[in-house]
Structure 1
Amino acid sequence: MNVTSVHQRMHNTKPTPPTPVGSGASGAASNGASPAPVASLATADAVLSRVRGVVLLAGTMRVSELGEAIQRSMLDLPIRAGQSMLAGWCEQVATLGALINVERCELRVRINEGVHRPTVPKKLNRVAVDVEVDTSAYRGSGGVLRDIAQDFDDDQYLLVANAAQVLLEPLADLVKALAEPQAAVSLVSHRDGTPSGVMLIRCDVLKRLPAVGFIDLKEQALPGIAREHDVRVLHRDRPTGLPVRTLANYITALQTLYRSAKNADEAASPFVEDWQSTFALIEPGAEVGDSARIHDSIVLDGGRVGDGAVLVRGVVGPGGVVAANRTMVDCVVQAKK
């Protein structure tokens, strides 16, 4: 169930954002303690002044074909020449740090045990990155956030986001909009049904989640929180970010990102043509023939594309080979096992 459906089940909605989700009686997600008093926030600036960091949830239940082929963290996938997904997040968080006037904004990346660790960029501006391994496979996203919240004061806020996405709207702008309602929780919802994964959460409501057991943030924690606290939904007609978990996700996100840099209306149009290449990303260490054509595709370090080959909407992983004069479309090319 996505965030929009949680919202619709909890409360009758109105088309104008931000929309309250609900409030009132004690919720199932509560641990039974009375809510701790939190100082009243008179302005959105007061909320922004209490934002203390960003949590990227990078865990996954299963590894996709794309994840297996690249032989590294999904956060190491390039989104621009020389910039990985994680580096893109660091750039966004640095801008947020300037907005909330902190010398170094904390970025905590939560990953599963046993998966590839993402590569932290060497040059960081206003960002302190901490990659944390979730040693408990049965805590769920809500439980993970509850545990992280113990490091912060009750009235401080965390910005929580799904790591496997490419933002199409500046993170600082999103945070300003999420702070506007001055709610305990504010989250983004996309009217077109595209999954959303950005929310601003006050730490006291996270601390009241159970200390043990599995707690899913959207399925279990948010409905209970909404029965006790002010939870607002910020609607967006266009996606603020696009997921990156499968090959199709990845290519669509990059196509939209590159088109939006040229023309936002064109990027959002469902009728946009893709016969003309939008991007071609070739990492250092990849081998691409002079006469090869790379159409909306990515060749990673260690991948090879021969002379005269054509690669359309594909990814070539380390050890993957597209033979000379061959055409491959909508595929992940990985090393032979």
Structure 2
Amino acid sequence: MTATTTDAPPPASASKQDITVLLLCGGLSHPPLATALNAPLLSLPQTPDRSVLGCWIDAFTHAGLGIDRCRLLTNTDGSPGTMLTPDIETLPDSGPYRGPAGVVRDAVDHLDAQGCCLIIETSRMLSKPETLSGFIGACRNRKGTISVATNPDGSFSGLIAADTEAIRLIPGIGFIDIKEQWLPAASREGFEIIPHMLDAPCYSIRTSKLYLEALRRMGRFDQASGTRVIGRGTHSIFGEPYGGSLIAKSAEIAPGAVVSCSAVGDGAVIESDAVVVRSIVGPRARIKKRELIIDSVVQTSDDLSEHRT
């Protein structure tokens, strides 16, 4: 691998780049948080008015990528990976035993894509939308290469930009992984693997702990931020103020409820005198009056009796 490079993000362009974007949202094994939530991670809130998917779309727009060239690769069996959205066209995975590289190859063939293809793990949350512009700007004119984006700490970011000729090296049958199988094979065939360090992290949100920690690092729990905070300035019995929370604007929080260091999704309802601490409340879920939710994930469901993890 060559030396890591960084590039300043170019200004957003009004013209759309001829780049195909594939968001990996399916597969045999789903992230633990998606399973606990019984919903795709893209549906989680990232800001009070934008989901994780919405923030990715903002990043595409900033980078000059046309939404018409984006596809959401997803399951069709009702599992947590299933994601249907009017914003991005859905393309079902070609099969349950193809692996992430295999479904990418099949999608490229299905779309007859040419040039550069951006591959995104949807168990990731981009901390700044403009960060993607820098990566796209660095990769746009690289022929015969595969660019692997890393976080500032050197960890894998979940973003890969590859020449479709390199993608078509992936066999048309069998289970093929990206990092363990495809990238080494492409390197042996002469495709240059180029690391690119992002100027801001692209956080993994595979587990509830990682998601809440990412929100904390992004300042979503800061009491000084613009995020709606229940219990702002109210001291607990230990004399410390409650921490803030990320609460979707469409969520309903009754007077007297306390939500601390948690994330509450679109359309969720938290009734009076309920307490939610270090937890994730899925879209449209309901927390009943005086219910105590600590270190938990509440599924995207109206029936709470069966959905505590």
Instruction: Output the TM-score relative to the length of structure 1.
Output: 0.69
- Identical-residue share of aligned pairs (%): 25
Structure 1 residues 118, 336: CA separation in 2 closer, same or farther (over 3 Å shift)?
A: same
Aligned to 2:287: 321
User: Is 1:108 aligned to residue 67 of structure 2?
Assistant: no
Shift of 1:305: 2.9
Aligned to 1:281: 247
**Equivalent residues in 2 for 1:145-164, closer than 5 Å:** 145-150=104-109, 151-152=111-112, 156-164=115-123
For 1:190 and 1:295, the matched residues in 2 are separated by: 28
Aligned to 2:185: 224
Aligned to 1:27: none
Structure 1 residues 303, 289: CA separation in 2 closer, same or farther (over 3 Å shift)?
A: same
For 1:220 and 1:80, the matched residues in 2 are separated by: 36
User: Is 1:196 aligned to residue 160 of structure 2?
Assistant: no
**Equivalent residues in 2 for 1:23-62, closer than 5 Å:** 51-62=18-29
For 1:55 and 1:312, the matched residues in 2 are separated by: 35
**Equivalent residues in 2 for 1:1-150, closer than 5 Å:** 16-18=3-5, 51-63=18-30, 66-97=33-64, 105-114=68-77, 115=79, 117-121=82-86, 129-150=88-109
**Structure 1 stretch 168-177 or stretch 252-261: which is displaced more?**
252-261
Shift of 1:202: 0.2
For 1:147 and 1:177, the matched residues in 2 are separated by: 26
Aligned to 1:30: none
For 1:322 and 1:240, the matched residues in 2 are separated by: 36
Aligned to 2:257: 292
Shift of 1:232: 0.6
| Bigger helix fraction | 1
Runs of 4+ in 1 over 6 A off after TM superposition: 260-263
**1:190-241 CA distance string (max 9 Å, x none):** 36364421111001111122111111111100011112211111235x7531
**1:145-199 CA distance string (max 9 Å, x none):** 2222223465x00111111211024211221234476651011123636442111
SS at match of 1:196: strand
Structure 1 residues 278, 113: CA separation in 2 closer, same or farther (over 3 Å shift)?
A: same
Structure 2 stretches lacking a partner, 5+ long: 7-14, 226-239
Maintained 8 Å contact 2:94/2:103: no
Equivalent position amino acid for 1:94 in 2: T
**1:105-158 CA distance string (max 9 Å, x none):** 511111123135434256xxxxxx21111141111111112222223465x001
User: Is 1:336 aligned to residue 305 of structure 2?
Assistant: yes
**Structure 1 stretch 189-198 or stretch 290-299: which is displaced more?**
189-198
For 1:175 and 1:161, the matched residues in 2 are separated by: 12
Structure 1 residues 301, 18: CA separation in 2 closer, same or farther (over 3 Å shift)?
A: closer
Equivalent position amino acid for 1:207 in 2: R
- Residue 186 of structure 1, aligned match among 128, 147, 166: 147
For 1:207 and 1:253, the matched residues in 2 are separated by: 35
Backbone CA RMSD of aligned residues? 3.4
Structure number with greater CO (CA < 8 Å, separation at least 6) is 1
**1:50-69 CA distance string (max 9 Å, x none):** 74221111124334564345
Structure 1 stretches lacking a partner, 5+ long: 1-10, 20-47, 123-128, 264-273
Shift of 1:315: 1.6
Equivalent position amino acid for 1:333 in 2: V
Instruction: Output the TM-score relative to the length of structure 2.
Output: 0.74
Equivalent pairs, count? 272
